[in-house]
């Protein structure tokens, strides 16, 4: 298959709808395995932290969701760029699918962070660097959400979202830097890709499993939402109608 054909098929919602189904299923099963393994391992078998005791275990949910909500915003920025440059319809479907998950995960990161802050810092809420940048990320998500609510025409909506998602993505590193510059009493980042983690492997291995599980879940969730959104948008077309008329609707979606 030539590169051009490969590229062009991404412009076809139907092609995506059909090809994405097995991917979504596999990712969903993987996330089920990884998340249950990681949760049981992290909550029941990982050793206690010598300073924080059992309270550190919320990290197994807090850090992956914080990672993922940033990745999802980056994903929206890239999708917006592709959508604006190559006029691909699918990218707006992707963005519309990523917004609810991203907003939810940002909220999860903030709430679990607050719950974690109570026993370790002695306060529910502390205006420290990473808390603020996550909160701003939530505002950025909400801005896009509000803009999409306000625009009726679907192509205007897609382009407007793409513009603001790109501007927001460019802005995220500056927000992070400015907030760090401003003030930080947060413990330094626990995990970096390049360095060996400071905590014992019995603690970080379940964490790694959780991160992989979260990413698989996000993949599954975004793709499933995209497929449903495609059905909604293409509801007038013959192929969607034939699915709706067939006796086995569920087989196509799940």
Partner 1 sequence: MLVRREFIAIARNPSLVINPLMFLLMAVTIFAITLKPILGDMGRAAGGLIWVLVLLSSLTSLDSLFRKDYDNGTLEQLLLGEVNPFFLVLMKCFTHWCSSGLVMVIVAPVIAMSLGLSQDLYGSLVLCLLVGTPAISLIGLVGAALTVALGRGGALLSLLILPIMFPVVIFGGGSIDSLVMSGEFGGGLIWLFATSMLALGVAPIATLFALRLSIEI
Residues that bind partner 1 (CB under 8 A): 84, 136, 139-140, 142-143, 146-147, 150-151, 156, 159-160, 163-164, 166-168, 170-171, 174-175, 177-179, 181-182
Q: In this complex, which beta carbon is closest to partner 1, that of residue 99 or of residue 166?
A: 166
| CA neighbor of 104 nearest in space, from 69, 154, 59 | 69
The span from the CA of 114 to the CA of 56, in Å, is 13
Q: In this complex, which beta carbon is closest to partner 1, that of residue 84 or of residue 199?
A: 84
CB 65 within 8 A of CB 108: yes
Residue 200 CA, distance from chain mean position: 28
As measured in angstroms, the least distance from the Cβ of 87 to partner 1 is: 13
As measured in angstroms, the least distance from the Cβ of 155 to partner 1 is: 9
Q: In this complex, which beta carbon is closest to partner 1, that of residue 24 or of residue 106?
A: 106
As measured in angstroms, the least distance from the Cβ of 156 to partner 1 is: 6
As measured in angstroms, the least distance from the Cβ of 28 to partner 1 is: 32
| CA neighbor of 38 nearest in space, from 167, 210, 170 | 210
Q: In this complex, which beta carbon is closest to partner 1, that of residue 4 or of residue 152?
A: 152
Q: In this complex, which beta carbon is closest to partner 1, that of residue 150 or of residue 185?
A: 150
As measured in angstroms, the least distance from the Cβ of 46 to partner 1 is: 36
What is the DSSP code string of 115-180?
HHHHHHHSSS----HHHHHHHHHHHHHHHHHHHHHH--SHHHHHHHHHHHHHHHHHHHHHHHHHHH
The span from the CA of 225 to the CA of 222, in Å, is 5
Q: In this complex, which beta carbon is closest to partner 1, that of residue 170 or of residue 198?
A: 170
Q: In this complex, which beta carbon is closest to partner 1, that of residue 14 or of residue 148?
A: 148
As measured in angstroms, the least distance from the Cβ of 150 to partner 1 is: 5
3 state DSSP class of 195: coil
The dihedral of CA 211, 215, 217, 218: what is its sign?
positive
As measured in angstroms, the least distance from the Cβ of 73 to partner 1 is: 11
Exposure string over 208-218, b if 16+ CB within 10 A, otherwise e: ebbbbbbbbbb
DSSP code of residue 99: H
């Amino acid at each position: 298959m030539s590169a051009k054909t490969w590229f062009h098929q991404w412009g076809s919602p139907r092609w995506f709808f059909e090809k994405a189904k097995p991917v979504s299923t596999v990712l969903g099963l993987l996330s089920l395995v990884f998340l249950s393994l990681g949760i049981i391992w992290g909550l029941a078998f990982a050793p206690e932290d010598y300073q924080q005791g059992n309270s550190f275990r919320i990290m197994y949910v807090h850090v992956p969701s914080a990672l993922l909500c940033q990745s999802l915003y980056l994903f929206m920025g890239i999708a917006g760029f592709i959508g604006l440059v190559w006029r691909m319809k699918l990218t707006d479907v992707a963005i519309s699918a990523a917004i609810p998950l991203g907003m939810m995960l940002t909220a999860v990161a903030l709430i679990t962070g607050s719950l974690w802050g109570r026993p370790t810092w002695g306060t529910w809420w502390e205006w420290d660097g990473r808390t603020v940048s996550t909160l701003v990320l939530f505002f950025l998500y909400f801005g896009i959400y509000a803009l999409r609510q306000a625009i009726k025409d679907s192509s205007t909506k897609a382009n407007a979202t793409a513009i603001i998602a790109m501007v927001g993505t460019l802005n995220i590193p500056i927000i992070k830097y400015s907030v760090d510059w401003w003030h930080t009493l947060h413990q330094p980042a626990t995990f970096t890709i390049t360095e060996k983690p400071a905590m014992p492997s019995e603690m970080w291995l379940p964490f790694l499993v959780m991160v992989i599980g979260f990413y698989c879940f996000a993949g599954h969730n975004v793709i499933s939402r995209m497929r449903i959104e495609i059905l909604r948008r293409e509801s007038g077309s013959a192929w969607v109608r034939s699915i709706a008329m067939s006796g086995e609707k569920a087989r196509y979606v799940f």
